[in-house]
Structure 1
């Protein structure tokens, strides 16, 4: 009788080894994603008054805040920000991808070969968002067009109807990140022992909003960045000046800081008598002193005209 050979046993052994390798690779991926905040579920949330919400990872939150900030800094209306956010949600999931179809790259999957810029440029979220808005503003009546039509005029996608499904989420995000919906954007803290750096925060603000966002010679504690609230035309926010538009600008800056809290090690953001404090849970905004805040806002005091960003020490 022929004796069984070792070949079947070797085949089973190699299959087991291959399966273990796949499991180890998957476990490593999950661990990296957890540490980086990308695989632990949404850690930032934009909340609407009607109870609807949209969750983002810290990476997505930073990119969404940049797209919004670049739009308002270019003088674009909120509808433009909504169109840009919906486009980036479809093209990249609000992630700055270093790959795509053919030579498509970045948040908007722009192609260097089609005149969008160099590969390095389109991988810069500020540049990419700016180029998107530059193209969008050339479309006559884009604010009145269906979102999917306006986005397609810019992108020339092979799937033009795909943008429409992102409009509700993009609208909710735009409401929060442009400051139209006060105290509507929050994030959970990520595990980190690193201290924040005011120079890094100031550089990030200038990158997204332009140099005019920062005050000249404004004194602050070593672990704080203070931002006087100004309208798009540069007027200081106060009781006699910009009114609602100044308050919206303040919430735009405050929500930007929360969206960047993990990346820039921001511990607390305060504005208009409310504050957000980093917590491992989804800590919402809370009122600090309603009476004092209301009084300061009426008199042009700091509570209504200044965003205070406090860093981790």
Structure 2
């Protein structure tokens, strides 16, 4: 007959088992928090600073799509890079650049705007392009907003209970704004892995990998129209304009597109003219190119080429690389167009 285990030993064993159980629960909770914050996806996109600055910002494909929409709507309304940075800092604080269907009281969407406070209907606010448009409409009414600190400009629009909260996102927002308005070239990269996305589903492309060329190109056209505004050329090409109307100046921004098989070509003049936001045509080209990379997972984009550089989905480092004439004899090596290849 074995001797009974001493009581202190049994107590220590129970404590060890309890501590192990707590550790497992903490690990599980941490995993669930990460999945919630990132939307259940890997952080597959990155924006890096140009020059010798070490700054970089990593984010999910879902966040990249929403950030690109905010930038496209802002520049389409003639707003400068600074305004886009203010909007991005606001969305980073309010929703983590995720289109949330919930929030404090009746707050929803990227900017946690409230239908009861006159921002629009819940359906409108849940349209990222509308939400961004109405945010910029209010920001444009703030006197001297471009000279104000980001957190002050954001607070003048949002009227938040935490007015200093936007300041911590200023550096990340500036990096994103520079890339997504085309100020910094080839600074945004994504792995471009196929992923389920609300926009893709809404456009009827599904989430599988067997997407035909016509469906993928149609989804890309529709996304361009949604973010950059309707264009007669895109309408004739069959793009569907969905969602709620958003505030927009006249004339509306336009994007011209030509499709051939799985490729869409977006002509960008190679001159030195500037648009309403003060951007050159080269910067506009880089905005379109990096918008396409940000949407790569959602729209099944495999390759983007512009200004002698090319990004390819699924490559080891997903970097922009110079186009070699021998390997891509038909590739565009000037600033004349952005070429986007969809599908497998």
**How high is the TM-score relative to the length of structure 1?**
0.80
Distance 1:210 1:188, change over 3 A: same
Deviations 1:225-283 (A, max 9, x none): 11011xxxxxxx22465697010000000000000000000000000010000016441
Match of 1:101 in 2: 104
Match of 1:89 in 2: 92
Match of 2:189 in 1: 186
Deviations 1:201-240 (A, max 9, x none): 00100100012495677643210111011xxxxxxx2246
- Out of 291, 303, 319, the position equivalent to 1:284 is 319
Q: How many residues align?
A: 279
How far apart are the structure 2 equivalents of 1:82 and 1:214? 30
Cα distance, 1:146 vs structure 2: 1.0
Match of 1:210 in 2: 229
Distance 1:265 1:144, change over 3 A: same
Note if 1:47 corresponds to 2:48: yes
How far apart are the structure 2 equivalents of 1:241 and 1:124? 32
Is the 1:189–1:281 Cα contact (8 Å) retained in structure 2? Answer: no
Match of 1:129 in 2: 132
Q: Secondary structure at the match of 1:160?
A: coil
**How high is the TM-score relative to the length of structure 2?**
0.73
Distance 1:56 1:210, change over 3 A: same
How far apart are the structure 2 equivalents of 1:282 and 1:169? 21
Cα RMSD (Å): 3.2
Cα distance, 1:155 vs structure 2: 0.2
- Out of 142, 147, 153, the position equivalent to 1:139 is 142
Q: Secondary structure at the match of 1:211?
A: coil
Match of 1:311 in 2: 342
Structure 1 segments unaligned to the other structure (5+ residues): 1-18, 230-236
Q: Give the structure with the larger helix fraction.
A: 1
- Out of 135, 150, 169, the position equivalent to 1:166 is 169
Distance 1:242 1:102, change over 3 A: closer
How far apart are the structure 2 equivalents of 1:108 and 1:142? 18
Note if 1:70 corresponds to 2:73: yes
How far apart are the structure 1 equivalents of 2:325 and 2:89? 36
Match of 2:306 in 1: 271
